[in-house]
Amino acid sequence: MTFHDAREAFLRHIEVERGLAALTVAAYGRDLEAFRAFLAERRGEEPVPSKVDTAQVRAYLAALFGTHDPRSISRKLSALRTFFRFLVRGGELAADPTARVRPPKRRKPLPRALSVDDTFRVVEQVQREAPALEARDRAIVEVLYGAGLRVSECCGVDAADVQREAGGALVRVRRGKGGKERIVPLGSKAVEAIDRWLVLRAALRPRSDALFINARGGRLTPRSVQRHLAASAGRLGLDGVTPHALRHSFATHLLDGGVDLRSIQELLGHASISSTQIYTKVSLDHLMKVYDEAHPHARRSKP
């Protein structure tokens, strides 16, 4: 069976028997044609499905790197895999040449980190009609950014977990990821915000030991924190400002300030240093952006 005949049989199968949409069928057709053209150019003759081997499939995928992202390459491999499995089931092939080919690893997107100025703007933008709720929300933002807590950890902090020390304060995180406990220092701004909130907290008639409570006196939920933070950032026209973005900003700004990775690992509560190392990439990305915007050579090279 020629490649063209196999391709047409496969496309009829997925359109008629599997009932896939016309656009999906067309996408499969384009992916198979691209693979056929690659083999034809490489070998100098029309390819035959029965002679396609694993090395040829890997060579094709390797040729896509640099012009296609991992998601696109994975999709093309999926099309080839579906095609060759169809031929194996139909008895046209003895084995699937894609069986031992792994899709490329997808790069994890770098964490979103706010600039220092935008972080301060988010803190100042917190506005609520009730003074107690405004003080609470400001304290939450200060703790998320000032201590780098996860939003679940922030909501899990009890009032008694804030420990005063000479020259500052510490917060005991009892409900960390994996059930691990750690102690994180609080900056002066976070301490001031917490103190303002604690003065007004009693007005909400607490029914919980939680440091941060809702209007009914119960423990505040992570979802509520996310919603209130998004509203504050929205008034500034900032998108994607989440509690986790503040945590990323905390780590990135510390790294930019010269704090070593091991210390940042301890503060964030990462079990492995490899989880913390991603912030070196974030910081490098930030430095390259600053360079591109400020360095004369970088500005001159722009069109």
164 forms beta bridges with 169
Q: Could you report the per-residue pLDDT of 79-123, keeping only the tens digit for each?
A: 999 999 999 999 999 999 999 998 887 766 666 788 888 988 888
Q: Which domain holds residue 132?
A: 116-294
43 & 165 share domain: no
Q: Could you report the per-residue pLDDT of 180-224, keeping only the tens digit for each?
A: 889 888 888 889 999 999 999 988 899 999 999 999 999 999 999
120 & 50 share domain: no
Q: Which DSSP symbol is given to 293? A: H
Is residue 100 a part of any domain in this protein? no
21 & 148 share domain: no
Instruction: Say which residue, 169 or 303, is predicted with more confidence.
Output: 169
Judged against a pLDDT cut of 90, whether residue 14 lies above it is answered with yes
Q: Could you report the per-residue pLDDT of 225-272, keeping only the tens digit for each?
A: 999 999 888 888 888 899 999 998 988 888 888 888 888 888 888 888
How many Cβ atoms from other residues are within 10 Å of residue 139's Cβ? Answer: 27
Domain total of the chain = 2
Q: Determine the pLDDT at residue 196.
A: 94
CATH of residue 54's domain is 1.10.150
Is residue 98 a part of any domain in this protein? no
**46-60, 119-133, 138-152: which range is least confident on average?**
119-133
Is residue 193 a part of any domain in this protein? yes
Q: Active-site residue numbers? A: 150, 177, 244, 247, 270, 279
160 forms beta bridges with none
28 & 151 share domain: no
As a whole number, mean pLDDT of residues 11-21 equals 92
CB proximity list for 176: less than 8 A, separation 6 or greater = 150, 153, 182, 269
Query: What is residue 166's three-state secondary structure?
Result: coil
